[in-house]
Amino acid sequence: MAPRSIIIDTDPGQDDAVAIMLALGRPDAVELLGLTAVAGNVPLHLTVPNCLKLLELAGRTDIPVFAGASAPLMVPLVTAEHVHGKTGLDGWDFPEPTTPIRPEFAPDWIVETVMSRPEKSVTLLPLGPLTNVALALAKEPRLAERLESIILMGGACVEGGNITPTAEFNIFVDPHAAARVFASGADIVVLSLDATHQAQITNDWLTAIKGLGTRVGVAFEGLLTFYERFDTEKYGTDGGPLHDPMTVAHLLAPHLFTGKRVNVEVETTPGLCFGQTVVDRWAVTDRPKNATWVTGLDSPAVFDLILDAFRRLP
């Protein structure tokens, strides 16, 4: 089977970085067409070079990087340096990147790329706020039906929020963009906190990453050791959840995940529930089902999948 063509829209972020490496480590199954950067975990002037740093670490400077939105559609930017550090990739001392970014605006490039390729041949994987995706859909609404699917990390229902009592960070940062994406008609798969909180990093797995002895493995042991210190303190667990890579894992091995078709709406009214993903789990409304909400995953098998991809990286 030919590799599936994907675009990763991202705001790296240590867990975004793992997702990117998982894709790069499986060229047999994934063709990464490009990275589009958005403001989120840290501002855009950091997420763009973070994309370049990761590609240079993996020796894949052939993959283009595009800068996108520097702020949400309608609200001020909220960032997460308290989780990811001041650079977004604290935990490893990267050299400054030397690869240039591409000049196209990220949403424009997404539209151009998807619309110029055969229908249903590109999957979009957003790992951060959905600003770039919403802008691309606004420019070309046919994008929704042209994509094979959108597999995104964001939202929460049963687990509650991680930035407010009700909202997950990616959706909270730009709920207006998220509302537009969920209303677009695209085939959407959601890896929310309900699923990703089941994917806990273990000490043995982190030791195995370092034990690879590769430059990527050693760097990521540092990145993830820094990253999980926040979540282990917050949740009282032995290891922090690894959110964003679950999107790529779902693309590669959907049989490791379970979920159901539901309606998802996003609360955009200011107040305590701002940014909440309202999930009609039991079809108690007549709203159309617009997303597959992932509810479970085989955590050991997913982490084996990620480790196997890391073995293939330099």
Report the chain's mean pLDDT, rounded to a whole number. 96
Residue 237 has pLDDT above 70, yes or no: no
Residue 156 has pLDDT above 70, yes or no: yes
Residues near 276 by Cβ (< 8 Å), separated by ≥ 6? 156, 161, 166, 167, 171, 266, 267
Q: Which residues of 41-77 are buried (b: 16+ CB within 10 A; e: fewer)?
A: bbbbebbbbbbbbbbbbbebeebbbbbbbebbbebeb
Instruction: Give the angle subtended at the CA of 258 by the CAs of 257 and 260, to the nearest 5°.
Output: 140
Domain range list for the chain: 4-311
Catalytic residue ranges = 243
CA–CA distance, 250 with 187 (Å, rounded to integer): 14
Residue 147, class by beta-carbon neighbours within 10 Å (0-12 exposed, 13-18 middle, 19+ buried)?
buried
Residues 60-75 pLDDT 10s: 999 999 999 999 999 9
Query: 3-state DSSP call for residue 307?
Result: helix
Residues near 100 by Cβ (< 8 Å), separated by ≥ 6? none
Residues 238-285 pLDDT 10s: 678 999 999 999 999 999 999 999 999 999 999 999 999 999 999 999
pTM: 0.97
Encoding tokens for residue 214?
């590769």
Domain 4-311: give its CATH superfamily.
Ribonucleoside hydrolase-like (3.90.245.10)
CA–CA distance, 150 with 227 (Å, rounded to integer): 26
Instruction: Give the angle subtended at the CA of 141 by the CAs of 138 and 147, to the nearest 5°.
Output: 115
Helices (H) and strands (E) in the chain — how many of each?
13, 9
Residue 181 has pLDDT above 80, yes or no: yes
**Average pLDDT value for residue range 42-66:** 98
Alpha-carbon distances, residue 133 vs 10, 11, 129, 139 (angstroms) = 11, 13, 9, 10
**If we measure between CA atoms, which residue out of 171, 163, 136 comes closest to residue 264?**
171
Positive or negative, the CA dihedral 251, 163, 289, 133 is: negative
